[in-house]
């Protein structure tokens, strides 16, 4: 990623006089380290000082054999996306307590290396809950060995398991943060927590502290919730940038107004723009009109929103 920054700067440099060139090279060699942040003043993301907007696509490495990862990522790049978004399913990596598997199709670090090689940024969603994308939101079934466990809450046994898992996963992710020379620009905490009954702020505070402890103070942490003020009430919390999700049928103005309720300033973000929808067994296959997707997408782009398809 630093290569990109250097390339971007070196073109105009050639046209300047020698002193300027030296000053710039000096500045570069001092290593203004890679940075990625929320710019609350200009309502955008900022990457290495430059305004930045992502148009991203979801891809789940856990659904694709490793041999196809590069092919799929390359196709996403060729489709014009500049970032990908992926979940990390807890149950996929810790099938039994304390038995971690990051080999073969589970080698998420290799997946991150490939995305960087291809030139895509990464929006990482390590959960611990990952919604309907897997049974029980990707939480390992062994958590249910404790009969009265309250998942996604301050339940002591749940928290102990989360701490242990994140203590394994997040240090592995840290070298892949943009600030550390990797492709990960933002990291999501939990998922659509505002849709869950518990509304346990202490749980969200705990996760925030846990993610910060492992990943540092610089990385942009965020939440995603349905585009309604009611969802954002229990889903958003201080220090996590609040984003929303909605499909092509939504009223974009109203949806982003909901985000603005939680985040008066900063970039507009639709973290899940539904180009399709899930199928229920026995029901008709869900299809979304591509014309509607294109229309809705271009409206979001017109208001300078960031979007993940
Ligand atoms: C969309 O939402 C905005 C803001 O809430 C509202 O003013 C507008 O009438 C809505 N548009 C439609 C077509 O419902």
> Among 94, 190, 192, 263, which one carries the catalytic annotation?
192
Q: How many CB atoms lie within 10 A of CB 185?
A: 25
- 175-231 residue pLDDT tens: 999 999 999 999 999 999 999 999 999 999 999 999 999 999 999 999 999 999 999
Q: Residue 264 above 70 pLDDT?
A: yes
Q: Please identify, by atom number, the ligand 1 atom nearest to the C-alpha of residue 251.
A: 1
To test the ligand 1 pocket, which listed residue (252, 254, 258) has its Cβ within 8 A of the most ligand atoms? 254
Query: Is 50 noted as a catalytic residue in this protein?
Result: no
The pLDDT confidence band at residue 18, using thresholds 50, 70 and 90, is low
Distance in angstroms between the alpha carbons of the first and the last residue of the chain: 23
Tell me the pLDDT of the chain averaged across its residues: 92
**Looking at residues 25-32, what average pLDDT do you find?**
57
pLDDT at 2: 40
| Residue 252 Cα to ligand 1 middle (Å) | 8
Question: Which of 32-36, 68-72, 77-81, 94-98 comes out lowest in average pLDDT?
Answer: 32-36
How many angstroms is it from 131 CA to the middle of ligand 1? 29
**pTM for the whole thing?**
0.90
The closest residue, in CA terms, to atom 14 on ligand 1 is 251
């Amino acid at each position: 990623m630093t290569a990109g920054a250097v390339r971007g700067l070196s073109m105009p440099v050639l046209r300047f006089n020698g002193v300027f060139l030296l000053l710039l090279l000096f500045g570069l060699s001092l290593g203004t380290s890679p940075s990625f942040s929320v710019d609350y003043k200009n309502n955008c993301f900022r990457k290495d000082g430059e305004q930045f907007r992502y148009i991203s696509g979801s891809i789940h490495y856990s659904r694709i054999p490793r041999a196809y990862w590069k092919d799929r990522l390359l196709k996403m790049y060729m489709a014009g996306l500049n970032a990908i978004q992926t979940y990390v399913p807890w149950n996929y990596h810790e099938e039994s307590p304390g038995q971690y598997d990051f080999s073969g199709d589970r080698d998420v670090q290799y997946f991150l290396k490939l995305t960087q090689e291809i030139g895509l940024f990464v929006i990482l969603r390590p959960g611990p809950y990952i919604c309907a994308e897997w049974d029980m939101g990707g939480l390992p079934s062994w958590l249910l060995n404790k009969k009265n466990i309250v998942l996604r809450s301050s339940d002591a046994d749940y928290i102990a398991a989360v701490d242990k898992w994140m203590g394994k996963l997040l240090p592995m992710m840290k070298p892949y943060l943009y600030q550390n020379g990797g492709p990960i620009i933002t990291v999501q905490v939990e998922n659509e927590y505002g849709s869950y009954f518990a509304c346990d702020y202490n749980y969200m505070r705990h996760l925030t502290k846990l993610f910060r402890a492992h990943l540092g103070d610089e990385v942009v942490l965020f939440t995603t919730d349905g585009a309604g003020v009611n969802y954002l009430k229990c889903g958003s919390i201080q220090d996590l940038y609040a984003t929303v999700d909605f499909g092509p049928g939504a009223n974009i103005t109203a949806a982003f107004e909901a985000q603005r309720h939680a985040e008066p300033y900063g970039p507009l973000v639709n973290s899940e723009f539904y180009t399709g929808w899930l199928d229920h067994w026995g029901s008709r296959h869900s299809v979304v009109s591509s014309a509607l997707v294109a229309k809705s997408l271009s409206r979001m782009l017109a208001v300078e929103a960031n979007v993940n398809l």
